[in-house]
Amino acid sequence: MRSLVLLCVVFALSDGITRLSLERGKKLREILREKGLLHRFLQNHRYDIGTKFPHAFPDVLTVVTEPLLNTLDMEYYGTISIGTPPQDFTVVFDTGSSNLWVPSVSCTSPACQSHQMFNPSQSSTYKSTGQNLSIHYGTGDMEGFVGCDTVTIASLMDTNQLFGLSTSEPGQFFVYVEFDGILGLGYPSLAADGITPVFDNMVNESLLEQNLFSVYLSRETVGSMVIFGGVDESYFTGSINWIPVSYQGYWQISVDSITVNEQEIACSGGCQAIIDTGTSLVAGPASDISDIQSAVGANQNVYGEYKVNCSHVLAMPDVVFVIGGVQYPVPALAYTEQNDQRTCMSSFQNSSADLWILGDVFIRVYYSVFDRANNRVGLAKAI
């Protein structure tokens, strides 16, 4: 059971004294956010918290949790704000990229018009850079310009953050997604135009207790989290196994092999993989994926998708990723999705790159820690 918090806090705001009682299971920042007071409180007391309230606020500036919403196990996204006063946006916290961007009011693409758009003229802290930006993803693109402003994530205020403002989002992908933009959590070398990522600015501004973050993904609509600056042991069982980052761009690691029924079925002789919160499935080279589909009993339909018999799922074998000599089994209930009462689909898909992508299907099974201080990834069995 998660630890329960019951506090009563009294603090001064510019318009007088406000008294807030924290409900069980709720943290101060959640109460403040609900009452529309979070941004003002952080502006007025950012540097007071550690000295005036050292016991009442142990985690406001050091370890914070950012709740994520889950749409159909395909999109995990949370809310941030940009500017003064804050303008709210939903973003994917994406370990497979390193830039922050949101739509701008200058964008006329259908994808922008169906999402929240940032208005620079309404932020007193916004600064123009005159710099253009173009980012290409596996499923969509954005073009726009770079601005600078305050970015707030949970109770963390990242000042002077460079971020992208899209003026064009061609294609259809971003039209239909629930989130407005993307916040990249990869290494700085992956960032377009050499822009310092949000996480690096947090570290540079000494906002975090530790130079790491961790991710828990649930299949429920709510309950998923990104935890900045720490690890929450209530989200996993057993110990964390640490794996060195093999290349500092993506969160890339070396995989020994992939087995089914104790037989090596893919990644023969070893392969490279990335732990990617921005990809919903598990992707790999076409020939290897085909071998996995065959081994688990998935059959390709006329649309190129791989179907399985829903009544067979419980009897299907685990797909085991062997990493650093440790086995990480992914059970059939985790790597299949049920579209309706009669149709179940495999969550393995072909990738055009040589890199394996261990996306949300894998991360839902394994609580993941992204440790920049030691350039390593930690994996533990998620609850």
Residue 220, both tokens: 């429920």
Cβ-proximal residues to 48 (8 Å cutoff; 6+ apart), any chain: none
Residue keyed to tokens 């992508």: 357
Which three-class secondary structure state does DSSP give residue 8? strand
> What whole-number distance in Å separates Cα of residue 201 and Cα of residue 219?
31
178, 77 contact by CB (below 8 A): yes
Catalytic residue status for 232: no
Beta bridge partners of 237: 381
Tally of CB atoms within 10 A around 84: 16
> What whole-number distance in Å separates Cα of residue 324 and Cα of residue 119?
47
> What whole-number distance in Å separates Cα of residue 138 and Cα of residue 166?
17
> What whole-number distance in Å separates Cα of residue 259 and Cα of residue 321?
7
Q: Residue 340 corresponds to which amino acid?
A: D
Among 94, 149, 288, 291, the one annotated catalytic: 94
Closest CA to 152 of 191, 123, 194, 130: 123
State the alpha helices, DSSP H only, in 297-344. Answer: 332-335
DSSP state of 194: G
Catalytic residue status for 94: yes
Q: Are strands 263-266 and 257-260 parallel, antiparallel or unpaired?
A: antiparallel
Among 149, 200, 276, 371, the one annotated catalytic: 276
> What whole-number distance in Å separates Cα of residue 63 and Cα of residue 207?
9
Phi, psi of 135 (to 5 degrees): -130, 135
Closest CA to 361 of 70, 143, 7: 70
Phi, psi of 202 (to 5 degrees): -60, -45
Tally of CB atoms within 10 A around 216: 22
Work out the widest C-alpha separation in the chain, in whole angstroms.
68
Catalytic residue set? 94, 276
